[in-house]
Structure 1
Amino acid sequence: MDTKQHYKSTHLLLICLSILILHQCSAFGSMLRGGHANVLCITKEREALLEFKRGLVDEHNMLSSWKNEECCSWSGVKCSNTTGHILVLNLRGNFDTSLTGNISSSLVKLQYLKYLDLSFNDFGGQIPKFIGYFERLEYLNLSSSFKNTGLIPIQFQNLAHLKTLDLSLNSLTVKSLEWLSNLVYLEYLDLRFSNVQAKNWLQEIIKLPNLRELYLSACQLPVIIPSSLVSTNISSSPLSILDISYNGYSSPAINSWLFNLTSLTSLDLTGNELGQLSSGFGYLKSLEHLKLFGSGIQGGIPKSFGSLSRLRYIDADSNNLLSQPFSELLDNLAGSNQSLEYLSFEENALTGSLINLTRFSSLRKLRLQGNSLNGIFHESFRQISSLEYLDLSNNQMTGPLPDLEFFPSLTELNLQSNHFYGTIPQGLGKLSELKILDVSFNRLQGLPDSLGKLFDLESFDASNNLLEGTISESHLSNLCKLKSLNLYSNSLTWNVSVDWIPCFQLQVISLSSCNLGPYFPKWLQTQNEYSVLDLSLASISDTMPSWFSKLPPMLTYLNLSYNQISGKIQDLSSNNISPIIIDFGYNNFSGPLPTFPQLVSQLRIDNNQISGSLNSICKIRSAVTLDLSDNLLSGEIPDCWTLMSAPMVLNLANNRISGSIPYSLCSSTSLSSLYVRNNNLSGQFPASLKNCKGLKVLDLGRNTFSGEIPEWIGTELAYLGILSLRFNEFSGSIPPSICQLQSIQILDLSGNRLSGRIPKCLSNFTTMQLLQDGSSVSYDFDPYTPRVGTLYHGNALVQWKNKESEYRNILWLLKTIDLSSNELVGDIPNDFSRMNALLSLNLSRNNLSGSIIEGIGLMKMLESLDLSRNHLSGKISVGLANLTFLSVLDLSNNNLSGRIPSSTQLQGFDSSTYEGNIQLCGPPLPECPSFAPPNLHVGHDSSFQENDDDDDEFLSREFYISMALGFIVAFWGVLGSLFFNNSWSNAYFQWLYL
């Protein structure tokens, strides 16, 4: 008992001594940390962080917590619970919040640092060398923080304990990778978007004994020479994940080494130029994840893929030359029929029908959009019960849809733009997981009652089909998980009770072309989470309900166009959270222009009856497109554009607006298209437009602008593709600088008072000339708005083939010059013949003289030519008969003479084409005099024909003149002698009566 008691006493004494020692150590540690017993942070490390902070610019207050003495509680800082040393510094930024400035070398004092993340900031400069002295560092992420090109510091070879190194998105130049050899614990290396110049990059990386993940996307990797790999044991590498996307590699460039990396489970070859795929893929038997997106695959997937029994994911989208029968593709992937979960071959050239899919029992996502698949759904297709995502859109499939109740797990179904017909099968109503449904652009009729049984359906997209019939409550009542309903471009009639309340909350409502009217569906009031609402072409003839003023704040797209909605537009300014597109065009809205959300990015209320001033648009701050055309708006264009970002498109055509173009409209260079035709604008040519240097479309037609066209129009507005000043009161001459508009395709100066000669330099318009291969350059004037993600289709009023028409979708294909109805004088410049891509030329109703240019036959693309009501003389050039596309010709009311050249082309026009030229003859006009030599038909020898026509013209004119003079001389030579000489006259009459 004494011995046991002794042991107990000793044990208790040891415990007390341990507690005392720990207390003393804690007190000593507190003294080292500044004498504060409750502070864990070490003073010199806190001071190092504060000095580091002073070198930064923290506009987003990321370091607002860096104030008190306990630095271990600061944002992004973590310390050891025992020693107090800082172990983690995580200051990762993002696109919204980031740090700028310089990194202080004071951070070197954090010698116990194991984790450093400074990624997604903007420190400029190069990577500091001192980071290579954190010898205990295990994790280093400097991604996208040092934007200036530089080298990786050689000091990084000191980071012997590093496991993760991310230097991606810094545009680094990597001349050598020999420093990697010291990083024996490295498991993760990311150098994406670096310029790797080291030719032995693979040999150096393979040496790393623990490297599992390697990311070298867009690194301009040198091609590995096979002979350099003789002594390299690639197969021993533990590499599991490899990304060498976007390096321009072909299959031969990777065959010698890639397929020796037999440990690979994930391989990304996106954006290369592989061509024919190698059979070597069969050696990568551990492969589970393969990305071949946009990798230039030709042919198809080889049979060797049948060895990839673990393959779960394959993405081979966007390979235009991947033209393989779908059945063959599936046969070559048969080895993974138990493992494959994700199969994506969108935007390729796969052919055939959907067969043999049942063997892939684990398939969850099947994406085959944009191929050439045809045929019908195979009956056995229904057995893939695990399918969650099916996209067969934009193919050529036909026949009825399969019974969809056999896909109970389906969450998204996209079948738009095929040739399906009939009804949507009854089983659709049992897809309880469905969230997205799109069956647009087919020939389906009606929706099945079973649609209502798809309880988990999240998306239903039936857009762009030819669905007909009725949608009732039974179709939708059980789709409580539905998030997206897309029936765009169908003719379905909505038939639900007035008080129906759906169980779902939709995020996308796209019911364009469905028959919803005549009233707005009341059930829409129950939806408060949607971001897209498209009720265009929905046969609604109601007034806008009051609840529209309280639309969901996350709404980004609102389309009510092409209905018969009347009354006033509700005040929509409450929606002010995110940019929004609003399209109310082609309705019967009236009243004043309402207040719209400040963040409206595209606003279209064209073709309505909106009246009053434009002042309310001044409250819009970020519009990219403003189309208020074809209304009854009046007053002046407000001068408030400095308060808002000027739009790319401003269309105010066909209103009653007066005044002039305000100077502030060109306060920025973003304005691309300005349409103000058919208003009451006046004054000189708007000098404010001189600053709109990015202008591509300028339509000032049908106003009362006056004065001269400024000389600077050709230099300051050099990108103009459409210039229409038609029917104003401009005077003076056409400025020669207009010839500098090399992108011009529609030049319309008609209906003014322009005088002087036509500039001879119009042939400088490069878009009016054919290229050597017979094609021509055409520019699309419709701007793409990146913030909105849409293309604005502009329009122009063009005199085309003797008819004034408004063109929109094909506007960019037109190439026309219209100088008609002015006071121009002089000859038609011969250089016009160089404009051999011109489609329409109208010089009518001027005072032009001279002849039709000799080279008119070179303008081979000409479809419409109007030279009427001028003072042109001479013959009609035979070359005109060679214009095979010419369908409209008017040469009337000139002084042309001679025979109309014989050809199928010229004789096919009505006689009115040539009337008012009294010296013209030949079909379709009356025949020339019978003694005139016959006109030769147009053939291959044009020069001979033209000379012959010259002779014809000479005989027709000189012969008549000589005959008349001869008659006069002879007549008066005889009778005159008799009249003046009596003896001769007596002798003559005596002889006459004998």
Structure 2
Amino acid sequence: MATNIHLILISLSILILHRSIAFGSMSSEDHAETLCITYEREALLEFKQELIDEHNMLSSWKNEECCTWRGVKCSNTTGHILVLSLRGSIESTPDSSNFLTLTGNISSSLVKLQYLKYLDLSFNDFGGQIPKFIGYFRRLEYLNLSSSYNPFTGLIPPQFQNLTHLRALDLGQNSLIVKSLEWLSHLVYLEHLDLSFSNVQAKNWLQEIIKLPSLRELHLSSCQLPIISSSSLVSANISSSHISILDISYNKYTSQAINSWLFNFTSLTSLSLSGNDLGQIASGFGNLKSLEHLKLYGSGIQGGIPRTFENLSRLRSIDATSNNLLSQPFSELLDNLSGSNRSLEFLSFEGNALTGSLINLTRFSSLRELRLQGNLLNGIFHESFRQISILEYLDLSNNQMTGSLPDLALFPSLRELHLGSNHFHGMIPQGLGQLSELKILDVSFNRLQGLPESLGLLSKLKILDVSFNRLKGLPESIGKLFDLESFDAPYNFLEGTISESHLSNLCNLKSLNLSSNSLTWNVSLDWIPCFQLQVISLSSCNLGPHFPKWLRTQNRYSILDLSLNNISDTMPSWFSKLPPMLTYLNLSYNQISGKIQDLSSNNVGPIVIDFGYNNFSGSLPRFPQLVSALRVDNNQISGSLSSICEIRSVVTLDLSDNLLSGEIPDCWTVMSVPMVLNVANNRISGSIPYSLCYSSSLSSLYVRNNNLSGQFPASLKNCQGLKVLDLGRNTLSGKIPEWIGSKLAYLGILSLRFNEFSGSIPPSICQLQSIQILDLSGNHLSGRIPKCFSNFTTMQLLQDGSSVSYDFDPYTPRVGTLYHGNALVQWKNKESEYRNILWLLKTIDLSSNKLVGDIPKGFRRMNALLSLNLSRNNLTGNIIEGIGIMKMLESLDLSKNHLLGEIPIGLANLTFLSVLDLSYNNFSGRIPSSTQLQGFDSSTYGGNIHLCGPPLPDCPTFAPPNPRVGYDSTFKENDDDKSLSSEFYISMALGFIAAFGGVLGSLFFSKSWRNAYFKWLHL
């Protein structure tokens, strides 16, 4: 389609020039008789002097004959330079792609080339403003200054109005400002105009553009186009325009903003409205009867394609990908496109909400590509669907299709078949072998049970993906796929043996992924495969107990995953000479022993290394300087951490659960500070070095269970990006600093448990608005609990009953994965290590300290709290009124304090409460009757000698059963608490009579008492 556009845009003479000077295609033979004009050659050399040519693109600009220079073409008759084409490009190599660009300044010496007709300086690194002198190339017919690397800025020079012979003007992908388009009126021969990514501020842009009598192609993508008012269109004669290709994508237009003028462009053959916000598609599209190509990618379509689309009898392609609210039945969609049943070749509705099942598509006799990935299609393949003989590309992945696969022999022209992530089951049919043109087969994430022997007939197959199925074995015929480049079959139930016959003929294989199966490898020790793999992913493939020797013959792979393979070998010596392009190395979860090889010279780019959960011993070796993520956790590594100082770009560094000793090295100013540093469960001493916080990169710091000493590390004051800080189980002492709330304001997890901190809890800790796990247990903290704890917003439910939760596992950009951190949490009377669900926990643990005073009443506002542990302190007072509001509470431990009073009935409203410990306090009265509170063991209430009622022994009959238990969780008086027993009233009456009788008797029998009493009455 691009070639056709050029034929429309550029005259035949210009095209001949363009084809003859393809970048780097000039030869001396073509210009043997052409003589370069001296002043034009000097102009080019002056132009070259102001350029920076790092890639030697102009290396041929040396000899006297400039007409033979790269990118230069002269007239065969006059010798004048007609063409200067210095378009930047991308040079692809097996290892990488490089941008071949020129930088520097565009010299005004070029203005001497007054016979220039063709100028292409696109995709270079000039930047700045467009030179004004370009407007003086009066013979210019083709001008391309488009950019995707370093865009031009500022205004378009008004001198461009002088380019009166211009046929094609491409200024796309720059950052230009267009305040006026009046200069366009002088370009009467202009056929092609591209201003994409400019900031078009001219409100009359449409009126000015449609004045161009020769314009055929217009590109205004991402131009922030002003909305055209209806009144301004009265004098505009849009129907007379000859524009056939129109791109106004990504301008945030609604249907209402374009309906008044768009459908008057009746000559349109190609229209792009992608990236707008169209809503309901207008019926006016039926007026565009010449339309052949329509792009509606991500255009906010709601509903579906209207019936008027059946008028588009010439439509060849329609792309309506990624419109989440396009929820039309698939059968209705096809009916509305029935007018193009002979012309439609490309149909893409990926990423929508199409419903229903596949129906007869044979009426679309020209259809070659059908893309329906990511919809809600269901049902089975109907027989009527299975007869589209010219179909080359079919993608039904990520739907809800069921049943068995069709007879694939009915699609003889298929080159790509994508059926992954459905509910297909059964066997892959034998007809697969008749797809002689098939290059890609993806049937992953289904419930297919077997591969046919006919698979071996797919002589052109390059990619085979059968991941996540229930395949039971691999056919021998797979060894006949001579062109196979990628074979992915992880997470099946593959059993049996992988032998040399399966792999020996796959000489073009570049990617092999058989992870998580139950295969047995049976290849000879001296087997040398004919392939050189780039991806080796064999996790959980029972390769052990030794490293496969054939791996030593592979020297081009970038990914090697041998995790979970029961390898109990030592690391082979050849690991010190791994391929330089290696980016991912995973040997985790094996039983590999001995020392880790020196890997420092292995690679030239970023690499991820995971040796976790093995039996490696010895000291830390040297690792590559550009290691992005390094995990050597859960081994037996000993010695110091000094070798990590040679790493320069680490993002994740996990050395936890080893035998490492010494101090954390102070070398972080010469290496990048990681996002994650985990050295928990080692023997590290000293303190946290200041250089670790010289930048704000550090997000998670785990130093739990080591030998850190001294006061709270003052160096952490500068770690202002910290979200996780775990210093638990060390011997740190002194006070928790006041600055912790202001300097570490983003903390979501703070664990200082089991150290020797003393003093009071600083009120500034309440500034930690993102805190979800606060653990200060096992210290010597004293004083009262700050009342401001109730200000923790993450501990409070929102009005809709939900709560805010933050995921504190950082995403590591260069690694492209999440690091799942961990924390030891006292949860439901058990110390457990949490990883994947850590971000869901909301706990406060202040246990085993010397705190005094009441439990702050504001605690009841923390109604999203899941666990509260205040045990083993010296707290007094009552359980807070309104505790029943804390609906999410699952664990409450107030044991071993000096709390008193009665147990509030509001506790019975905590329906999620599964752990409760109120033992060894001074609670009294009857335990409120409820299924919730009586469901706990008696030990929950033990050590409270004045507490009674089930599950403890029942209260004495003379004791009040539960007078005035207070308020329930909604702070309303409980009616049950008003009704006192009849025994209580009888006892009260008898007591009153006895007391009153005693007083009267004393007055009657004692004269002195009578005199005193009546004397007192007369006072």
Coarse TM-score class (shorter-chain normalised) = 0.7 to 0.9
Q: Does 1:164 align with 2:168?
A: yes
Once residues 662 and 527 of structure 1 are traced to their aligned partners in structure 2, the CA distance between those partners, rounded to angstroms, is 46
Q: Which residue of 1 aligns with 2:706?
A: 703
Shift of 1:321: 1.0
The 1:729/1:403 distance shift into structure 2, 3 A limit, reads: farther
Once residues 974 and 683 of structure 2 are traced to their aligned partners in structure 1, the CA distance between those partners, rounded to angstroms, is 51
Structure 1's 303 and 655: CA in aligned 2 closer, same or farther, altered over 3 A? Answer: same
Q: In the alignment, which residue of structure 1 is the partner of 2:908?
A: 881
**Aligned with 2:326: secondary structure?**
coil
Q: CA deviation at 1:356?
A: 0.8
Conserved 8 A contact 2:585-2:610? yes
- Cα separation, 1, equivalents of 2:372 and 2:530: 32
Match of 2:135 in 1: 132
Superposed, 1:198-217 pairs within 5 Å as 198-217=202-221
* Contact persistence 2:490–2:515 (CA under 8 A): yes
Q: Which amino acid in 2 is paired with 1:137?
A: L
How do 1:814-825 residues align onto structure 2 when only pairs under 5 Å count? 814-825=841-852
- Distance in 2, matches of 1:725 and 1:548, equals 47
Aligned pairs for 1:462-541 (under 5 A) are 462-465=466-469, 467-474=470-477, 476-500=478-502, 501-503=504-506, 505-517=508-520, 526=529, 528-541=531-544
Report 1:39-438 matches (<5 A). 40-93=35-88, 96-144=99-147, 147=151, 149-438=153-442
**Alpha-carbon spacing, 1:813–1:453, altered in 2? closer, same or farther (3 Å):** same
Task: Supply the distance in 2 between the matched residues of 1:652 and 1:519 (Cα, whole angstroms).
Answer: 36
Find 2:804's aligned residue among 777, 782, 795: 777
- Matches of 1:715 and 1:282, distance apart in 2: 63
Please give the alpha-carbon distance, in whole angstroms, between the structure 1 residues aligned to 2:252 and 2:526: 54
Are positions 1:742 and 2:769 aligned together? Answer: yes
TM-score by structure 1 length? Answer: 0.85
Partner of 2:565: 563
Residue of structure 1 equivalent to 2:748: 721
Q: Which amino acid aligns with 1:614?
A: L
**Partner Cα separation in structure 2 for residue 696 and residue 899 of structure 1:** 50
Q: Which residue number in structure 2 is paired with residue 606 of structure 1?
A: 612
Deviation track 1:361-408 (CA, whole Å, cap 9, x = no partner) reads 332222222211111111233212222222222211111111212222
Offset, 1:921? 2.6
Q: Cα offset for 1:533?
A: 2.6
Structure 2 stretches of 5 or more lacking a match? Answer: 1-31, 90-97, 715-736, 1003-1019
Task: Give the distance between the partners of 1:864 and 1:525, measured in 2 at CA.
Answer: 60
The within-5 A match list for 1:911-950 is 911-935=938-962, 942-943=970-971, 945=973
Change (3 A) 1:573 1:391: farther
2:585 match: 582
Q: CA deviation at 1:504?
A: 5.3
Distance 2:157 2:650 in 1: 46
Deviation at 1:425, TM superposition (A): 0.9
CA contact (8 A) 1:293 1:316 kept: yes
Partners of 1:124 and 1:691 lie apart in 2 by 35
Partners of 1:527 and 1:725 in 2: how far apart? 57
Judged with a 3 Å threshold, the aligned counterparts in structure 2 of structure 1 residues 610 and 262 are, in CA distance, closer, same or farther, namely: farther
Change (3 A) 1:379 1:725: farther
Task: Give deviations 1:428-462, integer Å, cap 9, x for gaps.
Answer: 22323332222222222111222222222222222
Say if 2:680 and 2:702, in contact at 8 Å, map to a contact too: yes
Distance 1:787 1:191, change over 3 A: farther
Mapped pair 1:621 → 2:648: no
Amino acid at match of 1:621: L
Partner letter of residue 909 of structure 2?
N
SS in 2 for 1:48: helix
Residues 383 and 406, structure 1, Cα contact 8 Å, conserved in 2: yes
* Distance in 2, Cα, partners of 1:688 & 1:919: 58
- The secondary structure found in structure 2 opposite 1:509 is strand
How far residue 522 of structure 1 moved from its aligned partner, in angstroms, is 8.6
8 Å contact kept, 2:904–2:965:
no
Letter in 2 for 1:767: T
Alignment length (residue pairs): 922
For the 8 Å contact 1:434–1:460, the answer to whether it is kept is: no
> 1:756: Cα distance to partner?
5.0
CA contact (8 A) 1:412 1:460 kept: no
> Relative to 1, partners in 2 of residues 1:652 and 1:209: Cα closer, same or farther, differing over 3 Å?
same
Q: Per-residue deviation at 1:641?
A: 4.2
Shift of 1:135: 1.5
What SS does structure 2 have at the residue aligned with 1:319?
A: coil
SS of match in other structure, 2:310: helix
Instruction: Tell whether the 8 Å contact from 1:415 to 1:438 is kept in structure 2 after alignment.
Output: yes
Q: Does 1:767 align with 2:794?
A: yes
Q: Following TM superposition, by how much is the alpha carbon of 1:487 offset from its aligned partner in structure 2, in angstroms? A: 2.2
Structure 2 Cα separation of the partners of residues 205 and 411 of structure 1:
43
Cα deviation for residue 86 of structure 1 reads 3.0
Mapping for residues 687-702 of structure 1, pairs under 5 Å? 687-691=690-694, 693-702=696-705
**What one-letter code is carried by the residue in structure 2 that aligns with 1:44?**
Y
| Cα distance between partner residues in 1 of 2:741 and 2:672 | 17
CA distance in 1 between partners of 2:978 and 2:690 (Å): 52
- Asked if the contact 1:413/1:460 (under 8 Å) is kept, the reply is no
Question: Quick one: structure 1 residues 49 and 222, their matched pair in 2 at CA, closer, same or farther if it must change by over 3 Å?
Answer: same
Query: What is the letter of the counterpart of residue 871 of structure 2?
Result: S
Of 633, 637, 646, 2:637 maps to 633
Residues 631-670 of structure 1 aligned to structure 2 (within 5 Å): 631-638=635-642, 640-641=644-645, 643-647=647-651, 649-665=652-668
1:937 Cα deviation (Å)? 8.4
Q: Distance in 1 between matches of 2:970 and 2:446?
A: 55
Tell me, what secondary structure is at the counterpart of 2:472? strand
The letter for the 2-side match of 1:139 is Y
CA distance in 2, matches of 1:524, 1:782: 43
Q: Which runs of 5+ in 1 are unaligned?
A: 1-36, 975-994
Q: C-alpha distance in 2, partners of 1:341/1:507?
A: 32
Between the aligned partners of 1:774 and 1:941, the Cα distance in structure 2 is 16
Shift of 1:640: 4.2
Deviations 1:158-206 (A, max 9, x none): 1112222222222222121111111122222221211112222122212
Distance 1:823 1:699 in 2: 26
| Alpha-carbon distance between aligned partners in 1 of 2:245 and 2:279, rounded to the nearest angstrom | 23
Q: CA distance change for structure 1 residues 791 and 944 in 2, over 3 Å: closer, same or farther?
A: closer
Closer, same or farther: CA 682–107 of 1 in aligned 2, 3 Å: same
Q: Which amino acid aligns with 2:345?
A: E
Q: 1:590-636: CA deviations, max 9, x gaps?
A: 2222344433432222222222222322x24141x222222222222
- Measure how far apart 1:780 and its partner are: 2.2
**Alpha-carbon separation, structure 2, partners of 1:583 and 1:362:** 48
